[in-house]
Amino acid sequence: MQNRFHYNIALIGFMGSGKSTVSEHLGRMLDMEIIEMDYLISRREGMSISDIFKKYGEEYFRTLETKLLIELQTGKNVIISCGGGVAMRERNVQEIKKNGRIVLLRATPRTILERVGNNDDRPLLSGRKDVESISRLMETRREKYEAAADIIIDTDEKDISQICEEIIQKLSEKDR
């Protein structure tokens, strides 16, 4: 399928909501390049996300995210797989919306827990890998995630193709 969207498509959502996996599949379907924010930031800084948090603190990492989003407003249209905290800063949402639409991926805390299981590069989940802690953190973010979203996709019990089809369909409806 040829890309029919003339803007960036930014995927937001909680850690483990499927942003990276969905971006990859959607990128192939639409023949669009993918920017994986965590990966790019980590590569540029020469260390893991956990080490950036440890060495420089969360605010430093958040500023890198904002700078990267500003950078992505120029150049060709891409799929942006955002870090889970991106939508918490109003400035980030404004930057993305200058040239893009925001897709919120949602999943239940139980699904999130299954997906993040043994990955240790998520400092905010360290010591919080249980349904209750994930629910609590998710609740503190819900309002901002939903306010930022142009479209919302519930991912539980859907396969990757269904999720991508739904994104394409809902974005197309918005563009009409």
**What is the contact surface with ligand S3P in residues (CB under 6 A)?**
15, 19, 38, 49, 83-85, 122-124
**How far apart, in whole angstroms, are the C-alpha atoms of residue 82 and residue 32?**
16
Chain centroid to Cα 76, Å, comes to 19
End-to-end Cα separation, the chain, in angstroms? 19
Residue whose CB is less far from ligand S3P, 25 or 122:
122
Name which of 84 and 109 has its Cβ closer to ligand S3P: 84
When the beta carbons of 49 and 171 are compared against ligand S3P, the nearer one is 49
To ligand S3P, the closest distance from the beta carbon of 58 in angstroms equals: 8
Query: Of the two residues 136 and 174, which places its CB atom closer to ligand S3P in the complex?
Result: 136
- Give least dist CB 83 to ligand S3P, A: 3
**Residues, the chain, total?**
176
Q: Give min distance, CB of 56 to ligand S3P, in A.
A: 13
Distance CA 36, CA 83 (A): 8
State how beta strands 8-12 and 100-106 pair.
Answer: parallel
CB of 41 to ligand S3P, least distance (A): 8
Which CB sits closer to ligand S3P, 123 or 151? 123
Contacts of 52 (CB under 8 A, 6+ apart): 41, 42, 45, 60, 61, 64
Residue partners of 44: CB distance under 8 A and separation at least 6:
64
Q: How far is the CB of 19 from ligand S3P (least distance, A)?
A: 6
Crossing angle of helices 58-71/90-98, nearest 10°? 10
